[in-house]
Structure 1
Amino acid sequence: MESDESTEIVKWETNIQPPTIDELRTYTKNAFSCKYIKYMYSKFKNECPTGRMRVAKFKKMFGSYFPLHLDEEYILRLFTAFANGKEEMTFKDLMESLALLYLPTPEANAIWTIRMIKGSDVEAITEDDLIDFVKSVFRLAMLGKSKHGNKVSDCNFHMIDTALQNIAIHRSHGTFKALDKDGNGYICKSDFVNFFQQNGCLDPVFMKSFIRLKTR
């Protein structure tokens, strides 16, 4: 009996209560209406009664919004960006990440880009970090073509994959060199902010579909 009671206490203690709606609107820079926040919380709470979301529940809740060619590795990268490097995501994490995707500002684009590359809000990224990310994006492009009727054999798939990986390395090197203005071997958030200020705010990596979730 005592063991059962202890288990219930642990379950209760691990539940996470979300901030108030007013607090969430402040955290998200008023990107979302009260109605939308309530709607999203009902969906989140239905999937995750404890207030903690893991990648499997993330896929269940948002899978219908993903492009069909997203593989497991990229979905995990996406979840990690939403959770800001943690293994579990709270409702506050979710809403803050959705706000980054919705707000068309260089700052928001810079933060989200770094999260997608590195997994969390780090101070800087290396060229190897960028190469790893660009490779994953190029591979998705290839998977997307194969799932839209352009079937290739395993041999050809490997050859195309190798060629794309080499192109990804070349592109990454050029991009990194252009962004690393001071040549210190790192790209900081300010470098990305400057880039988005000069080039406009881009769709943050296959995330336009998430904007369909927005209701005012």
Structure 2
Amino acid sequence: FLHILAAYISKMNSVLLLVLYSIEDDFELATVCCRPDSLEKMLEQTKFTKTELQILYRNFKNECPTGLVNEETFKLIYSHFFPHGDSSAYAHFLFEAFDKHKNGAVNFEDFVAGLSIILRGTVTDRLCWAFSLYDLNKDGCITKEEMNDIMKSIYDLMGKYTYPCMKDSAPREHVESFFQKMDCNNDGVVTMEEFLESCQKDEAIMESMQMLDHVI
């Protein structure tokens, strides 16, 4: 089950990179409402190269002249790449994961910090990021209600025209499967420790996480 989620995280962040990527290579800091930190600081804080940061920034600035991305932009991006489904719920959850300051806006530093974890972080880094995505209220554990909301958003994103056609009960069934696998002490919630332990023991999940190494 989690290897499906890992593949979708990879797919969706590839979408963001496709939107932002170009062949430009200078780190021009034009007049914007929100200026990013220095290139040197971001080189220290992320695992991207100087050229990658230059490319990402140029296109971030082109797409977002104010230096900030709001939730509606996330939703618009995903609606273009998943036209047969409803991507709004998943885009909302993903935006919340990137919006570290919880002010309704993602700046360039937030964006590349998240991408650096997803695309260049260790397996543990990536799993911790995924856990944070699923932990919707950020209380340190994942409930069945939270995982059901995430799963439903992924099925909505995929749309009704998948093959083979999925039953309406599929999200709930996947949630039950998730908890049988992850909830080691059967207390009805999955903690970070349970999540990491279960994922790291699963060969399929570990292989799926390696796919993220080849996104860029």
Q: TM-score normalised to the size of structure 1? A: 0.66
Secondary structure of 1:73 counterpart = helix
Larger Rg computed on CA atoms: 1
> Amino acid of the residue matched to residue 111 of structure 2?
L
Per-residue Cα deviation, 1:102-155 (whole angstroms, up to 9, x for no partner): 136332332332243245765222111011111222333343528xxx9xxxxx
Change (3 A) 1:168 1:184: same
2:170 aligned residue: 167
> Amino acid of the residue matched to residue 186 of structure 2?
G
1:94 aligned residue: 111
2:144 aligned residue: 127
Matched, 1:188 2:206: no
In structure 2, distance between residues paired with 1:101 and 1:66: 20
Secondary structure of 1:15 counterpart = coil
Per-residue Cα deviation, 1:56-101 (whole angstroms, up to 9, x for no partner): 33456x5599444452222222222232473210111100111122
2:17 aligned residue: none
Q: TM-score normalised to the size of structure 2? A: 0.66
In structure 2, distance between residues paired with 1:144 and 1:103: 33
Cα RMSD after superposing both structures: 3.4
Structure 2 unaligned segments of length 5 or more: list them: 1-31
Contact 1:126 1:185 in 2 (8 A): yes
Secondary structure of 2:201 counterpart = helix
Deviation at 1:50, TM superposition (A): 3.0
1:27 aligned residue: 45
Give me the identity figure in percent.
23
Aligned residues: 180
Structure 1 unaligned segments of length 5 or more: list them: 1-13, 151-159
Q: Which of 145, 148, 153 lines up with 1:136 in the alignment?
A: 153
In structure 2, distance between residues paired with 1:97 and 1:141: 23
Change (3 A) 1:97 1:69: farther
Change (3 A) 1:46 1:139: closer
Q: Which of 53, 59, 66 lines up with 1:50 in the alignment?
A: 66
